Amino acid sequence: MDAIIQLQTLGYRVNLEGDKIRLIWQGESGPNPEQVTPLLEEVRARKQEALRYIRHASRHKNRPGKCESCRAGGYWPDHGDGLWCFFHAYFFGKCAPAQKVTDEVRESCPLKRYGARARKVWTN
């Protein structure tokens, strides 16, 4: 669900407590209400879909090609719509160009190549 992904990209951590969605701000400064308010309204309006998405994402995170639930996936509005892969910068702290997520990028997911090494960084 795009609203959840965008909230995470902005700096929120998403937790479930039963059927309650908890959004915990983890950014450095306060959230921008102009960006956040419409996203929160969408999550409220589509709560059941949001719950399904969060539960699905938590079961399938850290799997190659599951870009929507990967910590290295994010939005980069200045460079175009959609999800981008920041794998090398996120996992290894290296400068590398981000890649727009396509079927080809999903198929060549670096988690397949770096598997255990990336997963170790992921869980720390």
Question: Pick from 71, 9, 55: which is nearest to 36 by CA?
Answer: 9
If one compares 57 and 1, the residue with the highest pLDDT of the two is 1
pLDDT of residue 38: 95
The predicted pLDDT at position 73 comes to: 80
Amino acid 39: pLDDT:
94
pLDDT at residue 5 above 50?
yes
Residue 74 is predicted with a pLDDT of 79
